[in-house]
Homo-oligomer: A and B are copies of this chain.
Amino acid sequence: MYVGRSYRLLDFALWSRRSVIYMVVVSGLAIAAYRLPGTSGFSVPWSIVLVLGTTVSLVAGFKNSQVFTRANEALQAFSQITASSRLWSSFCRDFTDAATARQLVHRHLAWLTALRFALRRPMPWESLARAANVEFRRRRYHIQEDKTSLADELRGLLGEEAENVLKSPQPATALLDMQLTQVNGLLKSTSIPPQIYSELTKLIRDFHDQQARCDRIKNNPYPRQYAIISSMFMMIFCTLLPFGIVPVFAEMGKLGGVLGAIAIWLTIPFSALLGWVYMSLDLVGESSANPFEGGANDVPISQICRDIEIELRRGLGETNLPKPLPALNDIAT
C-alpha cells in the first residue's frame, strides 16, 4: 500500500507510459488516414466518441467502486484479525500456564504466517505479472514472502510440529484445527473455566471467518466478464478518440500562420493526454482488484502480521523481538 503523500506524477507517468505510446501510434495512424490520398478526410464522428465517453466513464466508475469495496473488505479482515489476536494473547496468558500460553501464541503466529503465504501465492488473473507492474516492483520495493519460505518460518515457530503442518494441503486450516483441539483439551481437563473456553472458541471462530473471507477474496477474481467488458469499452474509446480529434485540429489548420502549419499535429499530444488519463483510470482499477498479491496498492499484510508478532511476543515477555517492516519508497507491503 502506498503510504506517501501522493504518488509522484512522474512515477505514475512512467508506470503508465505504455498507454501514451499506444495513443501516439494511433494518433499517427489517424493523421495518416486523414491525409493520405485514398482515405483523405477520414475521421470518426465526434458524436460517437461522446456517447462512448459517457459509457466508458460510467463503466469504469462502477468498476473502480466495486474494486474499492473488495480492497476495503480485505483491510477489514486484517483489522479484525489484529483485534482478535490481542484478545487471544491476553486470554492465553491470563488463564493458562506459561508453556501452554507460549504454545498457543506461537501457533497463532504460525497461523498468521501460513495465511500470509497462502494469500501471496500468484493467481492467473493477478496483475503483478504485467510488464508495468513487474518493472515498478523491481525498482521500488520487494515482498517479504519472496525472501523466506513458509517451511523455514514455521519451523522457527512450531518446532517439530511444523513437519505435520507442512504436509497438510492447507497449513492455515490445519493450524486453526490444532488450536481448537488443544483448547478443547483444556476444557476437558478443566484447566480453563467454561467462560474462558467460550471466549477462546469465539476467537477461533472469528479466525476461521476472517480466513474464509480472505480466501474468498483471494480465490475469486473480480468477475472477469466485467473486467473484459470494461477494458473493451476503454480500448474502443481510446482507439477512436484520435480519429475523432483529428478533423477538429485539421479545421484549425485552415487559420494559417504558425498554428495553421502545426495544427493537425496537435492531435498527437491531445490524444495522448486524454488517452493516458482514461487508460490509467482502467489500469488503476485493474491494479487494485487483487488486494493480497503484494502490489503497490494492496493491503500490507506482511507489515500487519509483523506488527502483531512483535506485540504478541512482547506480551509473552520475549525480548529478542523482530523489527517492524518499514515502508520502502513509501510502499508498505
- Residues of A bordering B, CB below 8 Å: 1-7, 9, 12, 37-59, 61-62, 64-66, 68, 71, 75-76, 79-80, 82-84, 86-87, 90-91, 94-95, 123-125, 170, 173, 176-177, 180-181, 184-185, 187, 193-195, 197-199, 201, 204-205, 208-209, 211-213, 215-216, 220-221, 223-229, 231-233, 236, 244-245, 248-249, 252, 255, 257-259, 270, 273-274, 277-278, 280-281, 284, 287-288, 296-297, 311, 315, 330
Contact = CB atoms under 8 A, between A and B. Distances in A.
A51 B48 contact: no
8 contacts: A40-B259, A43-B252, A61-B61, A80-B209, A80-B212, A91-B184, A223-B297, A224-B297
Contacts of A245: 45, 48
Nearest to A266: B42
A51 to B, nearest CB: 4
Copies in the complex: 5
- The majority secondary structure among interface residues of chain A is helix
B259 A38 contact: yes
Nearest to A16: B229
